[in-house]
Amino acid sequence: MVNLRPFGWSLRFPACFQSDRWCRGNREFTRTNGLATYDWTPEGSVVFAQLEYADRYRLFDDLYEAKADGSTRRITKGARLTDPSVSPDGSWAVAVSGGGGSNGLALIDLESGEVNDFVISDPDSHWAFPSISPNGRWIAATRWKTGALHDVVVLDSNGLVVAEITNDRAIDLAPEWSPDGSYLIWASDRTGILNILAVPFDQELARAGSPILLTNVRTGALYPSVDPSGRWLYFSGYHSDGWEVERVPFDPETAVSAPPADSRFNRLEDPEPPGFYQGDVQKYSAGSTLAPRYWEPLYSEAVRTPAIRTEDLYIRSRQLLGPAIGIQTSGIDLVGRHEWGASARVFTSGSRADAGFRYTYAGLGNPRLSLSANNRWGRGKNSALVTQRKDEALLDTLFVLKRDRSLTASAQFQHRKWRNSLFVTLSAGMLWEKLELLNNSLEPENNYRLNRPQNRMSDLSIALSYSTARSHAYQVGGSEGVVLFARARARRSLNLPDSLVGLSGLDSSVDEVIGRARVYVPLGITGYAPHVLALQTSFGLGRGPNATAGHFDVGGASGSPEQVTGISLFGGTPIFFPIRGYPESARYGRYAWAASAEYRIPLALMNWGLGAWPLHFDRITGSIFADAGNAWGPRMSPGGFQNPRREALYSVGAEVTGELLSFYHINMLVRTGAALQLAGNKKVQFYVRLGMPF
């Protein structure tokens, strides 16, 4: 959309940039929430409409004023207004007012924000693009009526239609006045292609002449605006690569007559009357729409222990349970008040199974209440133990398999705005933990036993998440802003004798705090998208008798499971403490940290496919990165080995990420990378993941 300032030489377009008539000296005038409609005031400010959250679920369009110095003032609140047009003296405006399943026109006092209906909403009429004449007497607008009549009309100060400029089923929209008000200009597709038309308009008699053709392009012209001198006609021109701001001389005296509307746009003789449904009104019931409508396969990777290497001990990684396969399904009612999900999967070895169920109720609005029950198998924190029956005997290696059964209730509070969001989640639950001891053959161990193989624990946590991050057109990943996350959790053993409280290996109580910060900084270097500096840091602190060496794992390249097959065969998983170039669990302990820095560079816009194959390649982004991290503690674990603080791990490398669309609707970011270890063996590791690293 192009909108020329009513005085001086500057024009404005949807990114809310301002430039001179030669499109030089572009500067950001103001930032808007999504696409916005706007108009100039005589003082050089901009009145615009934008969306803002009123609460967690409701969005309203309201009017704001942005001044040349960058300050912004809110004019209305919860008024549902779009398409403002400012009066010549700048004291009032007309805008489209929504509500009741339709819309109308409203007059707004720009100083007080008072809103008065101008044209009452009607189910059979819809309005758009009002435009006040230079003398403030007439208002041109686009009107849609039953019968597919999409026309330009002129109204007086009482809201009465005094002139119908068009009267057919062609699309006629976005009317604007010439600076002296002698012509009314708009866009029409009466020939099948959008072009700019105009009619002479008598300001005294409110009479329009015959339409004339101001442009005759083959690709489309829309949103006309005449410069203050009346010399140039600016408009948005459509081309194969998108929209351009263009201009032609504004010379209505030499313009040819507009062709008549194509016969396909003739009025319908007898529009079909609106239909009515006959039936009993009943109270809403969620049951009929809450039933499951699908199922999909489910896959999870094998359960493995981490490799353990110390100065005098090495235990290789072992697979305790094979990969698991299963199914999952879910349901949600029509209005989104009730939501549930269920899953079940069986491990291909080990004769174990997982299952889970969750239910969420959103009927309170804020908070959302959830209840979940799960049965999960995994490795214990001290998943590998080394012991011996007596002095001088051979060492025995044992493995710990863990089953968790949990019941958790949570309440999620949200404070949401267009530009930021804050989530606070409170959770409380019970956890029943069972530990199984396996020998080196992964069979149940008979010669040793765990002191407390079963535990019953309470689980309390609070999590906070705050985000201002956003992305821009053609950008891959975050472009600007911050994302902050923190969680504090406390688990307490409930069936423990007082004499065992606080003893490592016997008391499963643990406190932990984890946190993560992400920052995206645009660098002002632009190609088809900005260059971005992306930063991430995360930390974890564990305390208590069960904060053992296996509490946190550090290392690996983060990813996202693929969605093509539905069973997550590849793509990787999210990692809270990633260090590319090293295996997962390269470091472990009760204390952990990791940090990453990336310089992301847009490389190419491809936009091509492989013939008729359902695969489309979109864009390519490159990055260079540096990662670091470490984990340690406690110095002596219940498993019988020390875990002191060792040298931190460092790596550098590069990645290339390609965005592609598979099977017409599954979007994937395929990320290939190479990372050089700067500590340890100093090897180069190559990897493929899905999704951005952060």
Q: Whole-angstrom Cα distance, residue 33 to residue 66?
A: 13
Whether residue 619 is contained in a domain is answered as: yes
Neighbouring-strand partners of residue 386: 397
Q: Whole-angstrom Cα distance, residue 361 to residue 546?
A: 34
Exposure on the CB side of residue 439, measured as CA atoms within 13 A: 10
What per-residue confidence (pLDDT) applies to 301?
Answer: 85
- Tokens of residue 284, six digits: 């809403």
Q: Phi then psi for 544, rounded to 5 degrees? A: 120, 170
Domain boundary among 390, 421, 454: 454
Whether residue 611 is contained in a domain is answered as: yes
Q: How far is CA 93 from CA 41, 47, 131, 603, in A?
A: 10, 9, 9, 45
618 shares a domain with 504: yes
Q: How far is CA 393 from CA 308, 337, 389, 398, in A?
A: 21, 63, 7, 15
17 shares a domain with 86: yes
What per-residue confidence (pLDDT) applies to 9?
Answer: 45
Q: Whole-angstrom Cα distance, residue 338 to residue 319?
A: 39
Domain boundary among 454, 489, 518: 454
486 shares a domain with 343: no
Task: List the chain residues with pLDDT less than 50.
Answer: 8-11, 13-17
Whether residue 52 is contained in a domain is answered as: yes
The alpha helices in 456-527, defined as continuous H runs, are none
Whether residue 7 is contained in a domain is answered as: yes
Beta strands 172-177 and 183-188 are: antiparallel
152 shares a domain with 115: no
Q: Whole-angstrom Cα distance, residue 354 to residue 403?
A: 9
Whether residue 148 is contained in a domain is answered as: yes
Q: Whole-angstrom Cα distance, residue 117 to residue 132?
A: 16
Burial of 582 (C-beta count, 10 Å sphere; 0-12/13-18/19+): buried
582 shares a domain with 521: yes
What per-residue confidence (pLDDT) applies to 281?
Answer: 85
H or E, element range at 287 = helix 287-290
Q: Phi then psi for 108, rounded to 5 degrees? A: -125, 130
Q: Whole-angstrom Cα distance, residue 383 to residue 553?
A: 13
Whether residue 279 is contained in a domain is answered as: no
**β strands within 100-171, DSSP E:** 102-109, 115-119, 125-132, 139-145, 149-155, 161-164
134 shares a domain with 88: no
Q: How far is CA 124 from CA 19, 149, 239, 267, 327, in A?
A: 40, 11, 34, 16, 48
188 shares a domain with 85: no
User: What CATH number did the domain enclosing 181 receive?
Assistant: 2.120.10.30
- Tokens of residue 151, six digits: 């026309």
What per-residue confidence (pLDDT) applies to 15?
Answer: 47
Beta strands 81-86 and 221-226 are: unpaired
What per-residue confidence (pLDDT) applies to 391?
Answer: 63
Among 147, 148, 85, 149, which residue's Cα sits nearest to residue 118? 85
646 shares a domain with 499: yes
107 shares a domain with 195: no
Domain boundary among 261, 284, 318: 261
Task: Please tell me the total count of domains within the chain.
Answer: 4
143 shares a domain with 116: no
Domain limits for position 179: 124-261
484 shares a domain with 393: no
Whether residue 182 is contained in a domain is answered as: yes
Whether residue 302 is contained in a domain is answered as: yes
Burial of 613 (C-beta count, 10 Å sphere; 0-12/13-18/19+): exposed
345 shares a domain with 307: yes
